[in-house]
Structure formats: structure tokens, C-alpha cells
Amino acid sequence: MSSDWEARLAKAWAMLDELPGEEFRNRIEQLAAECPLEGGVADFERACSFDSTGHPEQAVTLYQQALRDGLTGIRRRRAVIQLASSLRNIGRPEQSVELLRPELDVSDELDDAVRATLALALVELGHRPRGCRTRRLCAGSSPPALSALHGHGRQLIDPA
């Protein structure tokens, strides 16, 4: 059941750019309502749908709930990163930094996303980024999974 659900979820996510935001969120909501997985997975997917359609305020609460409910694995790490990004987007970069600093001690395929999101929050707090690697991450040379960071990354290169 969960592999079928994951496949349907992936299919819905593939339609993100084709559907109006509300319709996309409704599809994810329907799938979340029948989620066979425990530990905050449904709330995580709901949060992502709000985040991806320009509603970070709603996403924050859902990410927090997913983490409280024990979200694990790569989804937990993604939730922390995306929550930190959403907090920064709604004017709470201090909380973003607080969430991300412990993630520097973890290592997986999302390390670059952690560093880039942290760099953006620090810039928002008035710090200047060090090193060209962080700038490159946010400027567009990172993997497609980090593409949301690219639009924000210009402030690391040209903070005007």
C-alpha cells in the first residue's frame, strides 16, 4: 500500500507546475488524508504543498507538527531545511539559524541545502557569506533539488 501511495504522491508532485496552486494543494490534501505512513508524513506533504505554492505561513505550522509527530529519515531533514527556509521567508531568520546549526553535524545528500539555507538566513541577519562555495550553491550551480534556493541566492552575490 505505501509504495502505491508513494507512486501516486510522486505523480501529483510532477504536476506542480501544471496545476493552479489551490488545485495542486487539494490533490496533495487528498493523498495526505489517505497516507498509510505514520510519524508526520501527511503533515510534511501538506506543508510542502503550501510552501511550493507560495504560502510559507501555513507551511510553518505543518512542518512543526510533522516534526513533533516524529518524522524520520530524509523527510525529517527536508522538513527542517524547508521549515528554516519558510521561517526566513516570513521574517524569522533567527529561528531559521537556530534550526539549521545542529544540521551541520549531520551528513547526507542535503548538506548543500543546509549550508545554503543557513547562509541566506545569516545574510538576512546582516552577516556576509564567506567563501565562494556558498555563493555558488545559491547562484545556481547546485543540483536541481536545491533549485528553490537559486532565486534567493542572488542576494549572496549582489546584496543591493
CB 68 within 8 A of CB 62: no
What fold is seen in the domain 2-157? 1.25.40
pLDDT per position as a tens digit, 34-87: 999 999 999 999 999 999 999 999 999 999 999 999 999 999 999 999 999 999
Look up cell 532565486; give the residue: 151
Domain boundaries, the chain: 2-157
Look up cell 501544471; give the residue: 18
Integer Cα distance of 83 and 55 in angstroms: 12
Q: What pLDDT score does 144 carry? A: 44
Integer Cα distance of 117 and 28 in angstroms: 25
pLDDT per position as a tens digit, 127-160: 876 654 555 555 544 444 445 554 555 555 455 4
Helical H segments across the chain, by residue range: 2-13, 21-33, 41-52, 56-68, 73-89, 93-100, 111-124, 132-136, 147-157
Integer Cα distance of 66 and 84 in angstroms: 14
Indicate yes or no: pTM above 0.85.
Answer: no
pLDDT per position as a tens digit, 82-136: 999 999 999 999 999 999 999 999 999 999 999 999 999 999 999 876 654 555 5
| Residue 100 cell numbers, joined | 539549521
Q: What pLDDT score does 137 carry? A: 53
